[in-house]
Amino acid sequence: MDRRKFVKNAGLAGLAGSAGLLAACNRQSGPADCAEGTGAGPNEALEWKMVTTWPRDFPGLGTGANYLARIIGEMSGGRLTVRVFGGNELVPPFEVFDAVQRGTAEMGHGGAYYWKGKMAASPFFSTVPFGLTGNEINGWFYHGGGLELYHELYAPFGVIPWPIGNSGTQMGGWFNREINSVEDLKGLKMRIPGFGGEVLMRVGGTPVNIPGAELFTALQNGTIDATEWVGPMNDLAFGLFRAAKYYYYPGWHEPGTALEGIVNAEAYAALPSDLQAIVKYACQAANMDMYADFEAHNGDALKSLVQEHGVELRAFPDDVLAELKRVSLEMLEEQAAADEMSGRVWASLKTYLEKVRSSTAVGSQSFVDHR
């Protein structure tokens, strides 16, 4: 693993430890807690590049990146503008992390589970099978210790991560065969990233990780037998209903998927402290806006898929979900035991889940069941 040193002459020499700018900015603090950047004067206009793993202007995901870029420009009065590049416009989708790390772009937008090959613990910051919902994971990030662990994991790479967007509970995916038992998952070639892909492999399937823009063709020509993507709004936009017959729920593998914004630490350190604060809090605003966007539009999209396009909506059988849950928990415990950082993050997630489980059950879950 290529782990480079952090910034020279920019106030980040102590970042690998507990001191320095990043440690200060990890806290839920005001601008005064962040060290003054040294690379730009207070009135100097800067332009950053943001590379994404999504097609340009794609609903929810691409437009969420656009929203972040726009509000950074507005909040800074034009002193910091951000130009957004969709997947393959500047770099391929799965090279976003590398591009931000080496400074080809100052920002990136994608999903933490795409970087599992670099950091074994990174998928925990996207989603965990049968884990936290969107509301719960935001609570964990901002008030449960998640953000501090997130920053610690990425720090040796010279990259600062923030949660930027959440899809909510996703759909189970598009299938060209019925899933009536666990046996039907054996031999299934399915696009499914992160820990969900590991679980599928353990029950006999073959996980495939390909960019979203390639899903329709891969499903249509039989390269894959099934795919999960996000949920009704995004799946409708990709036209996946034209390539598969069955639309399964729930998204056991992604119950509340956090999307990710990453910032090159050198570029961040070079900003004046007020622009650092603008980037930080614009990320938090964009996180909530994208979540609201999904919540607002998934209902209409699901109605369109079923009523206008004749999609067959199917629930996974209870025994299939029970086996997937058993395998998921087994896999997560093994991952936690094999990697020290994974162990710490998984322990934090489990502690937080136990803390909020009862309030979720008697609050929102109970209410929705009776609404």
pLDDT tier at 51, thresholds 50, 70, 90:
very high
pLDDT greater at residue 82 or residue 6: 82
Secondary element (H or E) of residue 75: helix 61-75
Average pLDDT over residues 13-40: 39
CA 82 to chain centre: 20
Work out the mean pLDDT of the chain and round it to a whole number: 90
pLDDT digits (tens, 9 = 90+) for 167-216: 999 999 999 999 999 999 999 999 999 999 999 999 999 999 888 889 99
Residue 13 has pLDDT above 90, yes or no: no
Q: Residue 18: its pLDDT value, please? A: 34
Residue 11 has pLDDT above 80, yes or no: no
Q: How do the domains of the chain map onto residue ranges?
A: 21-29+42-169+257-295, 173-255+310-370
Give yes or no for a contact between 198 and 299, defined as CB atoms under 8 angstroms apart: no
Q: What is the pTM of this model?
A: 0.86
The string of DSSP letters for 184-242 reads GGTT-EEE--HHHHHHHHHTT-EEE---GGGHHHHHHTTS-SEE--S-HHHHHHHTGGG
Q: In this structure, are residues 283 and 72 in contact, taking their beta carbons and an 8 Å threshold?
A: no
- pLDDT, tens digit, for every residue of 310-321? 999 999 999 999
pLDDT at 44: 79
Prior bond of 250 cis (ω within 30°): yes
What is the homologous superfamily of the domain 173-255+310-370 according to CATH?
Periplasmic binding protein-like II (3.40.190.10)
- What is the pLDDT, as a whole number, of residue 189? 97
The DSSP element (H or E) to which 356 belongs, if any, is: helix 340-360
Q: What is the rounded CA–CA span in Å between residue 83 and residue 78? A: 12
Contact 97, 87 (CB under 8 A): no
Q: Do domains 21-29+42-169+257-295 and 173-255+310-370 have the same CATH topology?
A: yes
Superfamily of domain 21-29+42-169+257-295: Bacterial extracellular solute-binding protein, family 7 (3.40.190.170)
